[in-house]
């Protein structure tokens, strides 16, 4: 029966996800709200398809959050964290401090002890990493100012949980923790019964242990496992790592998600980072959806029904307080109005760490059980309301109170046709146009930034205002008769969209496109673009050439190496594009190509050293080399 019960639960959860999420997406509500609604419907207060055993599923589903934070950590190399220290410490630190002070002040004003109020304030300051990142990614807002600011705050919050968990035992009223532990009758963690200061040291020691193991034990172990060359073994090892850290954190009374986040950061510089991401990601996606369903199912509607006025008031108060604090923090960091509003609405909920922190606080005798029960329900409701808040911001707030744009400007009337059209007249486009003009080739320049257009016209440039992704505007610019379309805009998504428009309406037009990096280049290759120019690639090669010359290499060899590097890298770019969605194959091929390039250049160096005729720049060599590079 137990096996049948497990399969029944799995069937119910998967059915709820398969039915609810597509419907929610079709209605424009997003997948997260679909999962949450599904959980409410099948939960104890809905169709009752799941009951008390749902709590067991909740513990299982929390591994979705655990794996998500492990992957977030893998993306954050210590050097990247250091570069992000400004927004992380500034935005994140100010938000957590501000929310803690305000909430604690309100809690003290309504009669709570200062220790309880401080613990509640720190817990309420947390936002939902899982829901916010999922929602922002779905809406394509992660790269906006508000989206990146939200990520910085969430990152600080995830890190801040460590000192919070270490501080909570010190906030326990005298005798409270000892009484609770004694009443329990048995130890469930290694820190049960320890005094507050000892628990704090234990917590910090566990985190330090993860850092040590990650740097000096896990990497050699993965190196041995990788030599077996069996994917399932590596998958098992990746899961073992995550589950083992989660178990260790549970035994010391810490959040498993917190431990795996720290481990992810430690392993972010590992050569096996990409393999770990590829093996964990499928499990993360499924379990994260299960977590959202479990959150919806765990909302205690009985408690809410018994105190509807209090719960509603607390939900509104929590959202309003966090909105105001976040808005003030955003203004302090000079965010634009629309991005500041997005930033505030994205983070105006409680977070999944609140469940962990309140549970830990009650175990330590810091927060009374009745207070924690009410606040857990409030946090769960604010998490469920987050997708609706984001929709409200997108549909109602942003159109009315976002950035006040100048009244929509009509596209300019284009009165010329040239062989070349340049879309985007920033630094990239300007250099291209100047080189063409110096060779007697005129280009029609388009830019969608009206301020940029007005400024450039003051310097005597003839630039037309308009969105080049509109096929009618391209037609007006002479795309039917032009030979080249140069895409010099700095928005990768817009570039791909423009490629599609041009290929559909003007298939004879040859396209040259700017790409920010390899990922954007892959998107352009998929879109059918042959001529792609990555930012910084040429300047990086020139710097490398000069570095070789300064180190004593002959000019001939330095330039020849750069050209060989270019040809090889361009070929590798296109070879890898076909495998970009197969992480395992992609990483293997990438490593192989790097080794191939090193062997190629080393062989060329050996050949040059043996060939004394290459000591200078011969006429034939000059013609061959410069003619070859000109052809590129």
SS (H, E, C) 158-201: HHHHHHHHHHHHHHCCCCHHHHHHHHHCCCCCCCCCCCHHHHHH
pLDDT digits (tens, 9 = 90+) for 161-192: 778 877 887 887 655 543 344 333 444 667 67
The Cα 483–Cα 487 span in angstroms is 13
pLDDT for 65 beyond 50: yes
Q: How much is the pTM?
A: 0.55
pLDDT for 623 beyond 50: no
Q: What is the per-residue pLDDT for 632?
A: 42
Percent of the chain exceeding pLDDT 70 equals 82
Place 102 in a pLDDT band, splitting at 50, 70 and 90. very high
The Cα 187–Cα 603 span in angstroms is 65
Place 630 in a pLDDT band, splitting at 50, 70 and 90. very low
Q: Specify burial of residue 308 (Cβ count, 10 A radius: 0-12, 13-18, 19+).
A: exposed
pLDDT digits (tens, 9 = 90+) for 420-455: 998 888 888 888 888 888 888 888 888 887 777 777
- Among 56-60, 316-320, 464-468, the minimum mean pLDDT is found in 56-60
pLDDT for 405 beyond 70: no
In terms of pLDDT, which residue wins out, 233 or 78? 233
**What is the helix (H) or strand (E) element at residue 54, kind and residue range?**
helix 54-74
- Among 193-207, 210-224, 299-313, 506-520, the minimum mean pLDDT is found in 193-207
pLDDT for 624 beyond 70: no
State the CB neighbour count (10 A cutoff) for residue 67.
28
pLDDT for 324 beyond 60: yes
Q: What is the per-residue pLDDT for 138?
A: 75
The Cα 143–Cα 339 span in angstroms is 11
Mean pLDDT of 553-572: 82
Residue that is written with structure tokens 């010099």 in the block: 488
Query: Hey, where are the domains in the chain?
Result: 56-399, 420-631
Long-range pairs for 365-373 at CB < 8 Å and ≥24 separation?
Answer: 365/172, 365/173, 365/176, 365/177, 365/179, 365/180, 366/115, 366/116, 366/119, 366/168, 366/169, 366/171, 366/172, 366/173, 366/176, 367/116, 367/119, 367/120, 368/116, 371/112, 371/116, 371/120, 373/300, 373/303
Mean pLDDT of 203-232: 79
DSSP 459: T
The Cα 81–Cα 83 span in angstroms is 5
Mean pLDDT of 509-527: 85
pLDDT for 259 beyond 70: yes
Buried b (16+ CB within 10 A) or exposed e, 15-28: ebbeebbeebeeee
Percent of the chain exceeding pLDDT 90 equals 9
pLDDT digits (tens, 9 = 90+) for 311-321: 999 999 999 99
Q: Let me know: does 42 contact 295? Beta carbons within 8 Å.
A: no
Q: Of the CATH numbers 3.90.1150.10, 3.40.50.720, 2.160.10.10, 3.40.50.1370, which one belongs to the domain with range 420-631?
A: 3.40.50.720
Torsion angles phi and psi, residue 551, rounded to 5: -90, 5
- Among 69-78, 226-235, 379-388, 619-628, the minimum mean pLDDT is found in 619-628
The Cα 427–Cα 506 span in angstroms is 26
Place 64 in a pLDDT band, splitting at 50, 70 and 90. low
Mean pLDDT of 120-133: 88
Q: Of the CATH numbers 3.30.420.40, 2.40.30.10, 1.10.10.970, 1.20.1530.20, which one belongs to the domain with range 56-399?
A: 1.20.1530.20
pLDDT digits (tens, 9 = 90+) for 597-620: 677 766 666 665 555 444 444 444
Cross-strand pairs, 443 = 420
In terms of pLDDT, which residue wins out, 245 or 97? 97
* SS3 category, 465: strand
Q: Let me know: does 572 contact 537? Beta carbons within 8 Å.
A: no
Place 88 in a pLDDT band, splitting at 50, 70 and 90. confident
Mean pLDDT of 18-33: 76
Q: Across all residues in the chain, what is the average pLDDT?
A: 78
Cross-strand pairs, 71 = none
Mean pLDDT of 253-258: 70
DSSP 402: S
Place 519 in a pLDDT band, splitting at 50, 70 and 90. confident
């Amino acid at each position: 029966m137990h096996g049948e019960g497990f399969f029944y639960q799995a069937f119910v959860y998967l059915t709820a996800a398969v039915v609810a999420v597509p419907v929610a997406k079709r209605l424009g509500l997003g997948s997260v709200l679909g999962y949450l609604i599904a959980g409410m419907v099948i939960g104890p207060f809905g169709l009752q398809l799941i009951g008390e055993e749902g709590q067991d599923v909740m513990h299982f589903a929390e591994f979705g959050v655990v794996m998500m934070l492990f992957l977030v950590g893998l993306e954050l190399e210590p050097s990247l964290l250091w570069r992000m220290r400004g927004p992380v410490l500034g935005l994140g630190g100010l938000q957590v401090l501000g929310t803690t002070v305000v909430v604690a002040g309100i809690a003290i004003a309504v009669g709570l002890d200062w220790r309880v109020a401080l613990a509640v304030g720190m817990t309420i300051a947390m936002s939902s990493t899982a829901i916010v990142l999922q929602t922002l990614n779905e809406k394509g807002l992660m790269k906006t100012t508000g989206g990146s600011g939200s990520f910085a705050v969430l990152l600080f919050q995830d890190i801040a949980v460590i000192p919070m968990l270490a501080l909570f035992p010190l906030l326990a009223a005298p005798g409270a923790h000892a009484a609770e532990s004694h009443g329990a009758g048995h130890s469930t963690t290694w820190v049960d019964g320890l005094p507050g200061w000892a628990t704090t040291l234990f917590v910090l020691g566990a985190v330090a242990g993860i850092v040590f193991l990650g740097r000096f034990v896990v990497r050699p172990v993965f190196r041995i496992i990788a030599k077996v060359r069996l994917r399932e073994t590596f998958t098992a090892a990746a899961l073992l790592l995550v589950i083992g850290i989660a178990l260790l954190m549970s035994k010391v009374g810490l959040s498993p998600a917190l431990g795996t986040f720290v481990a992810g950061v430690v392993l972010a510089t590992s050569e096996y980072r990409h393999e770990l991401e590829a093996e964990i990601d499928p499990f993360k996606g499924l379990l994260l959806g299960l977590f959202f369903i479990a959150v919806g199912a765990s909302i205690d509607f009985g408690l809410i029904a018994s105190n509807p006025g209090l719960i509603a008031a607390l939900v509104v108060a929590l959202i309003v307080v966090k909105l105001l604090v976040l808005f003030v923090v955003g203004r302090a960091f000079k965010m634009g109005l629309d991005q500041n509003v997005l930033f505030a609405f994205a983070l105006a909920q409680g977070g999944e760490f609140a469940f962990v922190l309140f549970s830990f606080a009650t175990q330590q005798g810091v927060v009374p059980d009745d207070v924690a029960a009410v606040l857990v329900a409030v946090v769960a409701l604010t998490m469920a309301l987050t997708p609706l808040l984001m929709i409200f911001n997108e549909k109602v707030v942003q159109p009315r109170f976002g950035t006040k744009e100048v009244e929509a400007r009509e596209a300019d009337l284009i009165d010329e046709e040239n062989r070349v059209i340049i879309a985007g007249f920033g630094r990239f486009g300007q250099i291209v146009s100047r080189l063409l003009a110096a060779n007697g080739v005129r280009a029609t320049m388009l830019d969608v930034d009206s301020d940029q257009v007005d400024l450039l016209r003051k310097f005597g440039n003839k630039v037309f205002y308009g969105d080049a992704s509109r096929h009618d505007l391209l037609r007006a610019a002479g795309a039917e008769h032009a030979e080249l379309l140069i895409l010099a805009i700095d928005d990768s998504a817009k570039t791909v969209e423009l490629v599609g428009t041009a290929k559909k309406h003007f298939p004879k037009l040859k396209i040259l496109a700017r790409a920010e990096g390899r990922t954007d280049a892959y998107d352009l290759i998929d879109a059918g673009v042959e001529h792609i120019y990555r930012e910084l690639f040429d300047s990086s090669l020139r710097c490398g050439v000069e570095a070789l010359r300064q180190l004593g290499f002959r000019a001939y060899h330095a330039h020849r190496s750069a050209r060989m590097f270019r040809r090889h890298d361009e070929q590798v770019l296109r070879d890898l594009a076909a495998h970009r969605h197969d992480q395992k194959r992609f990483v293997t091929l990438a490593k192989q190509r790097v080794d191939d390039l090193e062997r190629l250049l080393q062989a060329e160096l050996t050949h040059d050293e043996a060939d004394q005729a290459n000591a200078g720049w011969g006429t034939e060599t000059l013609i061959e080399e410069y003619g070859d590079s000109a052809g590129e």
